[in-house]
Amino acid sequence: MVKINILFIINPISGGKKKQKIPSVIDRHLDKEKFSPNFSFTEYIGHAAEIAEEAGNKNFDVIIAVGGDGTINEIAPKVIQTGKVLGIIPFGSGNGLARFLKIPMNTIKAIELINDFNVKLIDTAILNNKPFFNMAGMGFDAHISSVFANNKSRGLKGYVEMGLKEMTSYQSQTYDIEIDGVLYKRKAYVVSIANSSQYGNNVHISPKSSLTDGLLDICIVKPFPLYKIVVLAYHMLRATTDKSEMVEIIRGKQIKITREKEDSIHLDGEPFLMGKDINIDIVPLSLNIIAK
Ligand SMILES: Nc1ncnc2c1ncn2[C@@H]1O[C@H](COP(=O)(O)OP(=O)(O)OP(=O)(O)O)[C@@H](O)[C@H]1O
C-alpha cells in the first residue's frame, strides 16, 4: 500500500510547553501502515510558513501544525495554496480552532484522530489580504494580543494576569461597520470577527458560529463598567454571549470597518498594526482539515 507522506511542523515555543519528545511520541502512536512521518522544528517567527511552502512543493500529502492558532495561521495558507490537507496537534496557549473542531487536547488522542483521517472542508477568511482561520479582532482584544506578544511569559496564567492589568486602562472606540451593505455605527470595547465560536480555552464569543456556513459572526462587545467583566466572562465561559445584552452578534459575508485611527488588529491571536480601513471576506469551504 502507498503510504501517506506526512510532515509535522513543530513550534517549540507555543503554549510554553517543551516538545523535544514529540517526534518519538508521534513515532510510537502514528499508524505506520498508513503514514510515513517527517518532522521539522520552527526556529523563528515565519519559519512555519516557509517550511509549509517548501513542503507543498515536495511530495507531502498532509501537514500537521504542532502548536496553537498562530502556528496554524502560518501553515494553513500554504496548505490551501498547494491543495494539501492540514492536521493539528494542539500545543498552543488557547487552541481555539482545535477545540472548536473537537480535536483532543491529549497528544496521543490527537495522533489517533490523525490515524482516523477524517477530512472536512471548512471556511476560512481574509482581512486586508491576510488570512485567518479562527478569529480576528480589534479593540481591547487586539490590544491585549499585542501586549502578550511583547511579553516573554506564555501560557494561560500569563495571559490572564496581563489581561486584568490592561483592562483597567483601555478606552472603547467608535467603529463604522458595514455588513453586506448595511451600516452599523457602534461604540465598542471589542469587535471580534469569528469564524469558529471561541478565542481558545473554551472562552466563546460567538456560540452559534459554524465553520461551514459561509458566514462570519461579527461580535460587538459594547462598552461596560469594569465590574461587569464578571458577567461577560460568565457568558463567555457558558457560551451564552448571544443571549447577553453586552454583546451584539451580526452575521455576514463581506465586512468593511472604519476605525477612529490606525491601531492593532489580531489575526488568530497574532497582532498586526493596520490602518483605519479594514475589509474582511469569508472564503467558503476552502481548507481541508482533519477533524472528528
Ligand atoms: N522558534 C520560534 N521562536 C520564536 N517564535 C516562534 C518560533 N516558532 C514559531 N514562533 C512563533 O510563535 C508564535 C506563537 O505560536 P502559537 O500561536 O502557535 O502559540 P500560542 O500563542 O502559545 O498559542 P495560541 O495561539 O493557541 O494561543 C507564532 O506567531 C509563531 O510565528
Residue 56 has pLDDT above 90, yes or no: no
Residue 172: Cβ-neighbour burial (10 angstroms; 0-12, 13-18, 19+): middle
Going from the Cα of 68 to the center of ligand 1, the distance in angstroms, rounded, reads: 7
179 has pLDDT over 90: yes
pTM recorded for the entire structure: 0.93
Q: By C-alpha distance, which of 111, 49, 22 is closest to 268?
A: 49
Can you give the pLDDT at residue 5? 95
What's the pLDDT at 58? 84
pLDDT value at 69 more than 80: yes
130-283 to CATH, choices 1.20.1050.10, 3.20.20.70, 2.60.200.40, 2.40.30.10: 2.60.200.40
pLDDT tens digit string along 71-111?
Answer: 999 999 999 999 999 999 999 989 999 999 999 999 999 99
Domain 4-117 sits in CATH 3.30.70.20: no
Does residue 281 or residue 148 have the better pLDDT? 281
Q: What is the mean pLDDT of the chain?
A: 94
Determine contact, residues 245/236, Cβ cutoff 8 Å.
Answer: no
- What's the whole-number mean pLDDT along residues 40-60? 94
> What residues flank ligand 1, with Cβ below 6 Å?
11-15, 42-45, 47-48, 67-71, 74, 92-95, 154, 200, 269-270
pLDDT at 17 over 90: no
Which is higher by pLDDT, 98 or 169? 98
Q: How far is the CA of 76 from the centre of ligand 1 (A)?
A: 14
pLDDT > 70 fraction of the chain, expressed in percent and rounded: 98
**Ligand 1 centre and the CA of 191: distance in Å?**
23
DSSP states of 261-274 as a string? S-EEEEETTEEEEE
In whole angstroms, how far apart are CA 138 and each of 89, 106, 143, 231, 266? Answer: 28, 31, 7, 21, 7
Q: What is the pLDDT at residue 154?
A: 61
State the distance from the centre of ligand 1 to the C-alpha of 91, rounded, in angstroms.
10
Q: What is the pLDDT of residue 152?
A: 63
Residues in the chain: 292
CA 79, 53, 16, 266: dihedral to nearest 10 degrees? -70
Residue 174 pLDDT > 80:
yes
Measured distance CA(252)–CA(280) in Å, rounded: 10
Please give the pLDDT value at position 155.
67
What is the amino acid identity at position 267?
Answer: L
Cα 14 to its chain centre, rounded Å, is 13
If you measure from the C-alpha of residue 33 to the centroid of ligand 1, how many angstroms do you get, rounded to a whole number? 32
Domain spans of the chain?
4-117, 130-283
Mutate to test the pocket of ligand 1, among 11, 95, 100 (most ligand atoms within 8 A of CB): 11
Q: Whose CA is nearest to atom 28 of ligand 1?
A: 70
CA of 73 to the centre of ligand 1 (A): 10
Assess whether pLDDT exceeds 90 at residue 164: no
Which one, of 160, 165, 166, 174, lies nearest residue 143 by Cα?
Answer: 166
User: Once rounded to an integer, what is the mean pLDDT over residues 184-191?
Assistant: 98
165 pLDDT tier (thresholds 50, 70, 90): confident
Q: What distance in angstroms lies between residue 71's CA and the mean position of ligand 1's atoms?
A: 6
The confidence band for 137, taking pLDDT boundaries of 50, 70 and 90, is very high
Mutation probe of ligand 1 site: the residue of 20, 22, 43, 45 with most atoms within 8 A of C-beta: 45
Smallest CA-to-CA distance from 222 within 259, 162, 174 is with 174
Q: What is the mean pLDDT of residues 6-34?
A: 95
Grid cell digits, residue 5: 507522506
Residue nearest to atom 19 of ligand 1 (CA): 14
Out of 10, 22, 40, 71, give the residue to mutate to test ligand 1, the one with the largest number of ligand atoms within 8 Å of its CB. Answer: 71
How far is residue 127's CA from residue 259's CA, in Å, rounded to a whole number? 14
Q: By C-alpha distance, which of 15, 61, 14 is closest to 38?
A: 61
* pLDDT confidence band for 126 (50 / 70 / 90): very high
Report the pLDDT value the prediction gives residue 144, as an integer from 0 to 100.
83
Contact status, residue 78 vs residue 46, Cβ threshold 8 Å: no
Report the pLDDT value the prediction gives residue 167, as an integer from 0 to 100.
Answer: 85
Average pLDDT over residues 168-180: 94
